[in-house]
Amino acid sequence: MQTNKDFNNGKQLEDDYQESNIKKTLSQQEEGKKDSNDRCCGSKRASYILKGCLFTVILLIITALVVLPQVFSGTASAVDNSNDAKSRFPAPTSVDPPYPTNTTSSPNNNDTAFTPDPRLHQSFYGIDYTPHGTLYQKQCGVKYQDVLEDMKILQQLTTRIRLYGMDCDQASMVLRAIKQLKANMGVVLTLWVDGSSVTYNRQYNIFWQVLKEFGSDHILGVSVGNEAIYREQIVTSDLIKLIKDVKNRLQKSGHSHVPVYTTEIKDLPNLIPEEDAVMDNVHPFFAGTLVEDAANWTWEYFFNVDQYPTLLTAKQLDLNASQTKPAIISEVGWPTYPKDSKVKAAEPSVDNQRILLETFICEANKRQVPYFWFEFKDQPWKAIEFNETRESYWGLFDKDLKLKHARLPDCYTDKWKKGNNTVIQPEPLRSLD
């Protein structure tokens, strides 16, 4: 691009060159006059013609100096206006999406605008969420703009989300999006445990960095591991040591109000005394139940395996209701595909997921059962990672954020409030006696 300085320097050189040529021409003319003193009238006529040509050349040069800069300036302005038009009016999409769009997407990381989706309601107590591209082994790949768009939808569904790890800046991105959207949302953070000290130390260090950067206002709790004992990647005694370490360090750093636990379905009697809450993944699908019976099966399982032991412990220690450790369903849901991947009477399908949504969500809210729906959107990587197609299709939305259902439940649920990590609890199904 030509600058004004370049143009002025060029103009000065051109003026100097023109002045030199004019002086040279006049000098030559004067010399010609001396030689023409003894010439006839024809020589005088030639002199007049020469002067006329010289005047015309000078006039053309001056005109060019005045007009050309305006022409080039107008061209540059037209190019700039053309670029402005491209940025303001992006090319339309080639086809209309099969479902209504959920949010207004934008490449601008500061874009907090979105169009509320009338099919969505804040009816979920909590939802499990994994941003796409957060596999450390796959060199990450998660983008903040994608997380922001996810959070625009999630805030219309729930005030609580649960993450599965700390890798790839996922926790930082989620908390940043919550802050940017000014959303009333809390997050359960998970330190992933897989039997590798390298993995755990990486997760552990990132967690403290996140806590330092964002504080604990939007942290609902910390889960040290997710079914690590069930997967036989750690023994109970070692997991308890990790839990105690995180609890002690939180207390020393002024965050003693943040509860610490694990998410586990095995060895609960030994874990419960050491954690601040019981988190259990409760899946009627894997129990092989008919979807019509799934909600009732979940109430029974939750009481017998999770709530009853905490109530019994509190009774033995003579604790009141506020001192009793809460029990939480950390996962409950239903897969939508493939249909032939059954577990006994449990069949994956969109219709069956809809049935569980309709029979479980509002009733759980009414009973005050705390739960996290599994999960927000489909995860294509799981089919490859676990060699199990069904694992990828538990989402309310598909991988492209298209809602699988015509509508979602619309009913009241307990809303999280900043600074309040109290967990609601249902009335026991039966007496402890």
Residue 227 tokens, joined:
């079914």
Q: How confident is the model at residue 108 (pLDDT cuts 50, 70, 90)?
A: low
Of the candidates 327, 329, 322, the residue with the CA atom closest to the CA atom of residue 298: 329
Report the pLDDT averaged over residues 325-338: 98
Would you list the DSSP string of 214-263? H-STTEEEEEEEESTTTTTSS-HHHHHHHHHHHHHHHHHTT-TTS-EEEE
Q: Respond yes or no: is residue 363 known to be catalytic.
A: no
**pLDDT digits 0-9 by tens, 263-312:** 999 999 999 999 999 999 999 999 999 999 999 999 999 999 999 999 99
**In the prediction, which pLDDT does 362 show?**
98
Q: Is residue 264 annotated as a catalytic residue, yes or no?
A: no
Question: What is the average pLDDT value for the chain, to the nearest integer?
Answer: 82
CA distance 105 to 114: 8
pTM: 0.76
Q: Higher confidence at residue 328 or residue 90?
A: 328
187: which strand partners?
A: 161, 219
pLDDT (tens digit per residue) in 38-70: 333 343 334 444 444 455 545 555 544 544 444
Query: What number is the average pLDDT over the span 128-134?
Result: 97
pLDDT per residue over 66-102, tens digit each? 444 443 333 333 323 333 322 222 322 322 233 233 3
Catalytic, out of 149, 275, 331, 347: 331
Of 149, 227, 264, 347, which is the active-site residue?
A: 227
pLDDT of residue 144: 97
